[in-house]
Structure 1
C-alpha cells in the first residue's frame, strides 16, 4: 500500500495481508528478527 491510502476502500483481508507482510520483515534493530518472531517469543 502507498502512503495516503484510503483504508475504507480496502477489504479486511487486504489489510490483514499487508499487516502480516509488514510484521514478517526482519529488522536490523531487532538483530534481524521480525516483529512477529519477537511477539511469538514474548507470549
Structure 2
C-alpha cells in the first residue's frame, strides 16, 4: 500500500501542480501542491 501510495502521490502531484498553475513544489524535494492537497 505504501509503495502504491508513493507512486500515486507523485502522479497526483504532477496533475495537481498542472491544474493550479503548472508548477511543482521544491521544498525538501517534496511536492508542496500534493502536501497542501492532502492537508485540505
Q: Give TM-score, length-normalised by structure 2.
A: 0.47
Q: Give TM-score, length-normalised by structure 1.
A: 0.45
* More strand, by proportion: 1
Larger Rg, first or second structure (1 or 2): 1
User: Relative contact order (C-alpha < 8 Å, sep 6+): which is higher?
Assistant: 2
* More helix, by proportion: 2
